[in-house]
Amino acid sequence: DGGITQSPKYLFRKEGQNVTLSCEQNLNHDAMYWYRQDPGQGLRLIYYSQIVNDFQKGDIAEGYSVSREKKESFPLTVTSAQKNPTAFYLCASSYPGQTYEQYFGPGTRLTVT
């Protein structure tokens, strides 16, 4: 089955620890995205990548880092510099450009205490 997966579904960490969220897709999409969603809110773009080995900051990149070493994978690291990391994180992929829909993973709910 083709799709986009995120793991784990729930993640708990202590404050001050870095944590990496996984995102994998087998849809052969060039573009991948990371969004953050807070309760009752819309999605805010953290990072996006249109092609392997290239990525750009979104609107709320501070305290986050990404890598894009493989077309299929776009992991997100939430660093200890992120002031309020508890949120629902969504990964998406699409064909490159603006004319295509985004396919979303099921999300990872991160809780930092």
Is the CB of 3 or the CB of 17 nearer to another protein?
A: 3
Interface with another protein includes 54 (CB under 8 A)? Answer: no
Interface with another protein includes 97 (CB under 8 A)? Answer: yes
Interface with another protein includes 8 (CB under 8 A)? Answer: no
CB of 16 to another protein, least distance (A): 27
Residues 43, 90: Cα–Cα separation, whole Å: 8
**Strand 76-78's sheet: what is its strand order?**
4-7, 19-25, 76-78, 64-66
Interface with another protein includes 104 (CB under 8 A)? Answer: yes
Which position among 42, 54, 83, 113 is part of the footprint of another protein (CB under 8 A)? 42
Q: Are 32 and 17 in contact (CB under 8 A)?
A: no
Which position among 13, 22, 27, 31 is part of the footprint of another protein (CB under 8 A)? 31
What are the E-state strand segments in 39-97?
A: 43-51, 54-57, 64-66, 76-78, 87-94
CB of 111 to another protein, least distance (A): 14
Interface with another protein includes 58 (CB under 8 A)? Answer: yes
54 DSSP 8-state letter: E
